[in-house]
């Protein structure tokens, strides 16, 4: 769905002389480490995401979902021969922990290690299209800068620091 929405918006951006599309993620994850014995085959064997499997598992009712998970669902994620302990972990945990646990199991099979599964405070990429491309093809108005202002590394914390400093200076006790 995301790809279809973005394609629709990009079609509009291409035809709009004063239109620009900017895409950014709100955070990054980090700490990916590939061992010397990393193996891409388990990842290649996966035919869907853990999120999709968890949504399918959530549709299962009754006591048979543990067997359904073991025999039907996990094979689509490249996880064969799951132990009873692992199946019990999937059964007990909520949807987000299930997704993380399945991801960790697949990563372990592939020799992929993560130093964190949390958000990190790293730079995130900003992708844009539109206004700048119009300028490159001569369709922009003189003086338009559009995406040219949005390239390179931008310190997103400077504005926040400035706002906090202003709040502290104007707040009770002067900060």
Task: Sketch the domain layout of the chain as residue ranges.
Answer: 32-114, 123-175
At 141 the pLDDT is 45
DSSP state of 142: T
Pick the CATH number of 32-114 from 1.10.260, 1.20.1250, 1.10.60, 1.10.10: 1.10.60
| Distance (Å) of CA 33 to CA 37, 108, 117 | 11, 11, 12
At 140 the pLDDT is 43
Per-residue pLDDT of the chain (175 residues; tens, 9 = 90+): 778 888 888 888 877 667 778 777 776 666 778 888 889 998 888 888 888 887 887 777 666 677 777 887 888 888 877 888 877 777 777 777 777 888 888 888 899 888 776 777 777 777 777 765 544 444 444 444 555 555 556 565 665 556 656 666 665 444 4
Place of tokens 């707040």: 171
Q: How far is CA 91 from the centre of its chain?
A: 25
């Amino acid at each position: 769905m995301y790809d279809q929405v973005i394609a629709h918006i990009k079609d509009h951006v291409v035809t709009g002389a004063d239109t620009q599309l900017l895409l950014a993620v709100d955070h990054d994850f980090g700490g990916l480490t590939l061992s010397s014995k990393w193996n891409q085959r388990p990842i290649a064997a996966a035919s869907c995401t853990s999120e999709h499997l968890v949504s399918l598992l959530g549709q299962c009712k009754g006591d048979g979902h543990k067997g359904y998970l073991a025999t039907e669902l996990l094979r689509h994620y490249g996880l064969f021969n799951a132990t009873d302990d692992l199946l019990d972990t999937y059964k007990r945990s909520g949807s987000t922990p299930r997704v993380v646990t399945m991801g960790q199991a697949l990563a372990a099979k592939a020799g992929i290690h993560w130093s964190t599964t949390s958000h990190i405070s790293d730079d995130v990429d900003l992708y844009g299209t539109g206004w700048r491309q119009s300028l490159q093809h001569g369709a922009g108005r003189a003086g338009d800068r559009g995406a040219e202002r949005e390239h390179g590394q931008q310190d997103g914390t400077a504005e926040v620091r400035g706002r906090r400093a202003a709040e502290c200076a104007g707040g009770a006790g002067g900060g």
